[in-house]
Amino acid sequence: MTVNMIAECGVNFSSIEEAKSMIGLAKQAGANFVKFQLFNEDTIKDSPHFEALKALILTEEQVKELQAIAQNRRIGFILTPMYMDAVPVAAKYADLVKIRFKDRENLEMIDAVYNAGRELLISAAGRPLDPSLNYNPHMHWLYCIPSYPPQPEEMTLEIAASMQGFSSHFPHFICDMAYVLTRNWADVYIEKHVMMDDIEITERETISEKHQIYGFTGQTRPDPIDKAVSVTFPALAQFIKDVAVAERIRRLRLL
């Protein structure tokens, strides 16, 4: 029985150097995978964070750098393509390709990833009715509540338990642990948005580096864009330890 933890870095970094640091922090926390998003200006054109997001658009060369660091750290590397032209990049560099909730019915994108020979993680509110999708061993369906952040009462535990993972937008671990304890599958994936805390930032950057990266002086920095749905790496590390205890209890109950 394996709970694979995905540290979703998403858009919670302010520079490529900080993104690289997050890979190391994810490994230290005990995560099995780290994940980044591939988007372009058209994808984010309606976002209120457009200017900040535009600075976080990853080039293929940057993706290659991040993958190399992940390989060196011996942590899995996942990419989420958010437009069709990003699919070949995701298929080239990622160990697994994640399809976001918005694209759960985008068969063109799903087929393109599948035909490229990559396994998929797909966020959805429930398992698909199409048997070719539902029972495909290369497609893993993750329960997802698209609210940012959701309320605990929005979670339907029976549906979550029937799925092969949980793409969590909760800024806590209560619902994540409920999924771990009630799931029907032995091997699953839990995706959690992560962010660096102030201590981690201070330890890794001098004031001059902060000025270079964030464009201003002082000890403060911009809040992570997905702060409302994210947890810190120390919190993730503690959850991973708690999951290990829960798994031992679960094994005893199943004997």
176 in Cβ contact with 149 (< 8 Å)? no
CATH number at residue 103: 3.20.20.70
| pLDDT tens, position by position, 127-179 | 999 999 999 999 999 999 999 999 999 999 999 999 999 999 999 999 999 99
Residue by residue, DSSP assigns 88-134 as: HHHHHH-SEEEEPGGGTT-HHHHHHHHHTT--EEEEESS--S-HHHH
User: What is the average per-residue pLDDT within 1-19?
Assistant: 94
| pLDDT tens, position by position, 69-99 | 999 999 999 999 999 999 999 999 999 999 9
User: What is the average per-residue pLDDT within 107-112?
Assistant: 97
The backbone region for 224, taken as left when phi is positive above 0, alpha when psi lies in -120 to 50, beta otherwise, is beta
| pLDDT tens, position by position, 212-224 | 443 334 445 678 9
Residue by residue, DSSP assigns 161-183 as: HTSSEEEE--SSSHHHHHHHHH-
Looking at residue 255, what is its pLDDT?
Answer: 54
| pLDDT tens, position by position, 25-68 | 999 999 999 999 999 999 999 999 999 999 999 999 999 999 99
| Selection from 11-15, 93-97, 205-209 with the highest mean pLDDT | 93-97
Looking at residue 84, what is its pLDDT?
Answer: 97
Looking at residue 215, what is its pLDDT?
Answer: 39
Q: Pick the residue with more confidence: 110 or 254?
A: 110
Looking at residue 220, what is its pLDDT?
Answer: 57
Q: Which residues of 203-238 are buried (b: 16+ CB within 10 A; e: fewer)?
A: eebeeeebeebbeeeeeebeebbbeebbbbbebbbe
Structural domain count, the chain: 1
**The domain containing residue 102 runs over which residues?**
2-254
Looking at residue 223, what is its pLDDT?
Answer: 86
Model pTM score: 0.90
Task: Identify any residues that bridge with 124 across adjacent strands, giving them in sequence order.
Answer: 143
